[in-house]
Chains A and B, each alone.
Chain A
């Protein structure tokens, strides 16, 4: 009986530690080191992800969507495009149907981000802050979300 209580105590403490670690989570906007972009307004960023051609500091932006992390996607819909996933996906499809507008590039694996950002032009995407810190050839240009 005592041993069982000890297990629950360990799990409880581990959960507390996990929460503490997660409370410092951030989501950041990143681009390649070769891109001269140093900042971008929230409105310009929203336009770019809503299919509007946006040039900042003379550079045409190429937004990339991150897939495969549900929480990261939710933060993107809430903090970047400010609409539900359903509305956003319909809008993307609608632009393609109406004008033939290409949909945004997508990445499923965070390990592919440096390679995707290395191309010509200014590609941008959003990442967990902890992932961005450990990446080579990637620079952070905006804090998009922070766990309170």
Chain B
């Protein structure tokens, strides 16, 4: 059994279990203890997986959607239709440590299984992605597409925001991403991510091959943005009855010097209207809504055994307070270098940081946001479709209600894919 040493928390019932949280917990069928926040370094994907107990519930609508997916999967195939199933299992172990703050000592383990199913006809395509882990069960993507040209698809449904290059490359397929962790800029909403990852609406994806064998790709979407609730972004769920969700627009334009190569460069842009669910005991200056404009660049560059994956995004937020508007801007970015030493071993490292992110009023509205991380790791492809990965990192939380903290983390992971 993994050891779990946590800083002391007040026992239940406690004054921190505010009425709003209690109401929310009750609505989700959880006790207040389950809904209580843990230490910020416990957030899954940032430092540690495993605290999203309120996500352990699987709603009826999610079950319905999962059932539809399952029925489609087991339905007898018919002419000109291809079915695909992929399973991405992973098991993670984590240990955090800090010489200056002995209370930051956590060991934990987490298992996850990402299920991907697609069915393709001549022009029609359906894609569903469901993640089931030790702390959540959620439909991540559920989208239906129609081919309107040789290289153009129009999708409707729930999909991943295209203005995120890491997310667009790896989605939830842990085995395919070299590192264990994702950059904070690309973090999922329910893992503390500060900008939208899941959109409900329409998505257009197109790639045009040019005469010189280069290619221009476009991915553009319009849909419903997440809301900010209890210091987390909450994306629109499938078949959600009511919606306070604002508009989300996303754009990614990419250029591939060689159509068949993986190297690409491009720009990212977006506009999100993030409405804030008001807490009964909210501070008087809590914003009602946030207009977020983003503009960024990315590069995914391959040369020989080297690869660099980097993205830098500028955020310009307008926090609509009851009495005035507050402007807020910052930049977040990361660069990950990978070196494929041989067919089995890949060494990698990542630097994450930004400008003015520590002082951002918007980021301070979140439970915890990583503002700096220096990470090194190694991946060993032990067998076909199986990998063992180790990471060590020096991580800093900056713009956080819990204050700034810096500590080390060590992770181990087994990941695989079963085609």
- A102-B120 in contact given A84-B343, A91-B262 (Cβ < 8 Å): yes
> Which of A43, A93, A99 is the one whose CB lies under 8 Å from B153?
A99
Q: A53-B150, A97-B173 are in contact. Are A102 and B260 (CB under 8 A)?
A: no
Asked if A110 is at the interface (CB within 8 A of a chain B CB), the reply is no
Q: Tell yes or no: B76 within 8 A of A by CB.
A: no
Contact A94 B176 (CB under 8 A): yes
Interface residues in B162-207 by Cβ distance below 8 A to A read: 168-171, 173, 175-176, 205
Contacts of B125 in A (CB 8 A): 99-100
CB of B244 within 8 Å of the partner chain: no
B84 proximity list for chain A (CB < 8 A):
96, 100-103
Are A99 and B260 touching (Cβ within 8 A)?
A: no
Known contacts A86-B343, A102-B84: does B169 contact A94 (CB below 8 Å)? Answer: yes
Nearest-neighbour CB distance to chain A for B365, whole angstroms, equals: 32
Interface residues of A in 81-108 (CB under 8 A from B): 84, 86, 89-91, 93-94, 96-103
- Complex CA distance for A100 and B120, rounded to whole angstroms: 8
Question: Across the interface, which residues of A come within 8 angstroms of B86, CB to CB?
Answer: 93, 96-97
Report the minimum CB–CB distance from A81 to chain B (whole Å): 9
Could you tell me if B381 and A86 are in contact, using CB atoms closer than 8 angstroms? yes
CA distance A89 to B145 in the complex (A): 25
Contact mask A14-56 → B, CB, 8 Å, 1/0?
A: 0000000000000000000000000000010011001011000
User: B176 near A102 (CB under 8 angstroms)?
Assistant: no
Q: Residues of B contacting A43 with CB < 8 Å?
A: 213
Q: Which of B116, B381, B385 interacts with A97 by CB under 8 Å?
A: B116
A46-B260, A93-B417 given; A98·B118 CB < 8 A: no
Residues of chain A within 8 A (CB-CB) of B175 are 93
Are the C-beta atoms of A98 and B260 separated by less than 8 Å?
A: no
Smallest distance from the beta carbon of A107 to chain B beta carbons, Å? 16
Q: Does B126 belong to the interface (CB within 8 Å)?
A: yes
Consensus secondary structure, chain A interface: helix
Q: B347: CB under 8 A from chain A?
A: no
Partner of B118, one of A46, A89, A90, A96: A96
Question: Using an 8 Å CB-CB cutoff, how does the interface string of B256-268 with A read, 1 for contact, 0 for none?
Answer: 0001101000000
**Given A96-B84, A97-B116, are A103 and B176 also a contact pair (CB < 8 Å)?**
no
Could you tell me the distance in whole angstroms from the C-beta of B363 to the nearest C-beta in chain A?
29
Q: A100 and B126: CB pair below 8 A?
A: yes
Interface size on A, residues (CB 8 A): 21
Cα(A138)–Cα(B83), bound, Å: 27
Contacts of B82 in A (CB 8 A): 102
A87 to chain B, nearest CB (A): 8
Given contacts A46-B260, A86-B381, contact A93 B120 (CB under 8 A): no
CB-CB < 8 A to B145: which residues of A?
100
Known: A96-B84, A99-B205, A100-B118. A90 touches B176 (CB 8 A): yes
Q: Does B419 contact A (CB under 8 A)?
A: yes
Q: Quick one: which of B118, B150, B205 contacts A102, CB cutoff 8 A?
A: B118
CB <8 Å contact, A50 and B260 = yes
Among A86, A91, A98, A103, which residue has its beta carbon within 8 angstroms of that of B171? A98
Q: Which residue of A lies closest to B417 (CB)?
A: A93
Contacts of A94 in B (CB 8 A): 169, 173, 176
User: A98: shortest Cβ distance to chain B, in Å?
Assistant: 7
Which chain B residues (256-310) contact chain A, with CB distance < 8 Å? 259-260, 262
Bound-state CA distance A100–B259 (Å) is 19
The reply to whether the CB of B319 lies closer than 8 angstroms to some CB of chain A is no
Q: Mark B101-127, 1 if CB is under 8 A from A, else 0.
A: 000000000000000101110000111
Interface 1/0 per residue, B71-109 and A, CB below 8 Å? 000000000001110100000000000000000000000
**In the complex, chain A residues 39-84 whose Cβ is within 8 Å of any chain B Cβ:** 43, 46-47, 50, 52-53, 84
List of A residues within 8 angstroms of B119 by Cβ? 100
Complex Cα spacing A67 to B95, Å: 42
List residues of chain A with CB under 8 Å of any chain B CB.
Answer: 43, 46-47, 50, 52-53, 84, 86, 89-91, 93-94, 96-103
Nearest 5 pairs of A and B residues by beta carbon: A100-B118, A102-B82, A100-B127, A97-B173, A102-B120
Q: Assuming A100-B127, A103-B84, what are 12 further A-B pairs, CB within 8 angstroms?
A: A47-B259, A52-B259, A84-B343, A86-B343, A91-B262, A93-B417, A94-B176, A97-B173, A99-B127, A101-B84, A102-B82, A102-B118
9 A-B residue pairs with CB within 8 Å = A46-B260, A86-B343, A97-B116, A97-B171, A99-B125, A100-B119, A100-B120, A100-B127, A101-B118
